[in-house]
Structure 1
Amino acid sequence: MDLSGKVAVVTGAGRGLGRAYAEALTAAGAAVVVNDVDAESAERVVGGIAQRGGRAVAVVAPVGSGEVAQRLVDTAVKEFGRLDAMVTNAGILRDRVLWKMSDEDFDAVIEVHLRGTFTCARAAAVRMREQGTGGRLILISSPAGQRGNFGQTNYAAAKAGVVAMARTWSMELAKAGITVNAVVPVAATEMTRTIPFFAPIIEESERTGRPFPEWLRADGMGTVEDVAQLIVFLASDASADVTGQAIGIGGDKLALWAHPAEKAVAYADGGWKADAIAESWGMGVGAEPETVGVPAPKRPES
């Protein structure tokens, strides 16, 4: 993929997935604005890109406000002359079960993930429409937003909202040639290291230098570099006809998530009474209820 001449902003690019996105985009020829709240991390990423012959600048600021979003777009235009792709990756976690989650826990995650995606996408869309040459909004979601996840009321709600915004904006921006897609990544990061199931596997891989087991990669868990290639594709001209989609990637697995749809339907003349719903539920529309939660990979039987 040749992204020469294209310019992207990647939020939360100081480490993990965001860093991989920025590095992959610049390796393909794009110039990148590297955003992060940690100045040292952001400058380290920019320095590494420069050493490899790429072009990048850092903007140290927390996403969420319209002012920061506009600063990111303005920096791209000032430093590189235009903006072609906005990758909204920045995020934080404040995991708590419902009865222990504070207003502050909820608001902090919504501010960064949901409002940050909104403000950055809005600023980018305004600029792209002014340029008149189309563009790419690449919004980072999560399996938690698709299926829910224990202890993540705030995070799951925000990531579900990200997918809903992608679908909405894909319609609103179609005439301007701006595609909007949500990415649902799974990769070994500092966050997944905190999950007991994954921690020993990640640590063994780092200690030995061996890749993850084939069964785990086939189930969708790999490196941040695996995920980054989807970002490159979505930023390229090859993805011009791809919009309004939620696309999963991880390890050896690439997937298209289905849009919500009615799974089972039943009708009653004159409408449904509560007792009629109760009587028919188990044999009718509720006969095969949906599962919830993000399923853990299954180790093969030894």
Structure 2
Amino acid sequence: MDLSNKVAVVTGSGQGLGLAYAKDLARHGAAVVINDVNATAADAAVAEIAAAGGRAVPVVAPVGSTETAQALVTAAVEAFGRLDVMVTNAGILRDKVLWKMSDDDFDAVVGVHLRGTFTCVREAVLRFREQGDGGRIICIGSPAGQRGNFGQTNYSGAKAGIVGMVRTWALELQRAGITANAVCPVAVTAMTETLPIFAPFIDEAKRTGTLPPVIRREVGMGDPHDAAGIVTFLASDEAKDVTGQAFSVGGDRLALWSHPQLTATAFHDGGFGADDIAAEWPTTFGEALESVGEKFPEEVVAK
């Protein structure tokens, strides 16, 4: 797969998943704008890509504001002449249960994930439309946004919002040849290492160098580089007709998330009053309720 004619911005790419995406894009020929709030991490990422024969420049700035989004697009154009791919990966966590979550906890996470995705994509699309030959929007979501996760009101809400925006953008941008997709990765990173359910397996992987099959296949969780291939594919010409989709990726598993669909339907002439709903409930809706949260194999839960 040849991306030598592509220029990509990857936000939050100084380490972890973002760095894996940037390195894989560069390995396939794309020039990359590295973004991070940590100058040392950004410079190290650029140096690593350059040492492998790739092309990269750093932009050190927090994602969220229009000014940062404009700086990222400007860096791509000034360094490499154009922009073809925007990967919105930057993120932070401020995990707390609802009744302990402050306004600042909520605003900080939503500002980086949701507003940061919006501002970066908007600036990228303005450039794409000016260039007139399409583009690729790849937004990083999360299983937490698809199914919810305890203690992550802010994060789950932002990630769900990202997938909602992607579906809207797929509609709005199709005529301009611009695709918009979401990737919901699961990988061993600084973020996931804090989750107690995965701690024994991550500790074991640090000793042995590998995660067990139940984690890589059943949970779909692996190293950051396991999640990079789908980003590179979506950035390529091979994916020119793929838009409005949400992918699950991690470990040895790649899957598509379904879009929300009506799963149980009833009709009542004149509409439904509360008593009508109560009468209909056992036969139509009671057995059709959806589960919430991720469901892990018993082998994982028991450990």
TM-score bracket, shorter-length normalisation: over 0.9
Q: Any residues of structure 2 matched to 1:55-204 within 5 Å, and which?
A: 55-204=55-204
Give secondary structure in 1 for the equivalent of 2:197: coil
Name the stretch that deviates more: 164-173 or 269-278: 269-278
**How many residues in Structure 1 have an aligned counterpart in Structure 2?**
301
Contact preservation (8 Å) 2:63, 2:112: yes
1:294 CA displacement: 1.7
- Contact (CA 8 Å) 2:87, 2:139: kept in 1 or not? yes
Q: Please give the alpha-carbon distance, in whole angstroms, between the structure 1 residues aligned to 2:240 and 2:38.
A: 34
Structure 2 counterpart SS, 1:173 = helix
| Contact 2:144 2:155 survives alignment (8 Å) | yes
Letter in 1 for 2:45: V
SS at match of 1:190: coil
Post-superposition shift, 1:38?
Answer: 0.7
1:204 Cα deviation after fit: 1.7
CA RMSD of aligned residues (A): 1.3
Alignment of 1:233-252 (within 5 A): 233-252=233-252
CA distance in 1, matches of 2:133, 2:284: 50
Q: How far apart are residue 113 of structure 1 and its match?
A: 0.2
Which sections of structure 1, spanning at least 5 residues, go unmatched?
none
Instruction: Provide the TM-score with structure 1 as the length reference.
Output: 0.97
Q: 1:29 offset after TM fit, Å?
A: 0.4
Residue correspondence of structure 1 range 41-52 to structure 2 within 5 A: 41-52=41-52
Please give the secondary structure, in 1, of the residue aligned with 2:91. coil
Distance 1:153 1:238 in 2: 36
Identity of aligned residues (%): 63
Cα deviation, 1:267-301, whole Å, max 9, x if unaligned, reads 11111111221232122123221000122344289
Q: Matches of 2:5 and 2:30 in 1, distance apart?
A: 6
**Counterpart check, 1:217 vs 2:216:** yes
In the alignment, the residues of structure 1 paired with residue 298 and residue 190 of structure 2 have an alpha-carbon distance, to the nearest angstrom, of: 21
- Report the TM-score, using the length of structure 2 for normalisation: 0.97
Q: Is there any run of 5+ residues in structure 2 with no aligned partner, and where?
A: none
Secondary structure of the corresponding residue to residue 258 of structure 1: coil
Q: Aligned partner of 1:279: which letter?
A: A
State how far apart, in whole Å, the 2-side matches of 1:88 and 1:298 are: 34
Report the 3-state secondary structure (helix = DSSP H, G, I; strand = E; otherwise coil) of the residue aligned with 1:180.
Answer: strand
Task: Tell me by how many angstroms 1:228 deviates.
Answer: 0.4
Determine helix, strand or coil for the equivalent of 2:247: strand
- The one-letter amino acid paired with 1:195 is L
Displacement over 4 Å in runs of 4+: none
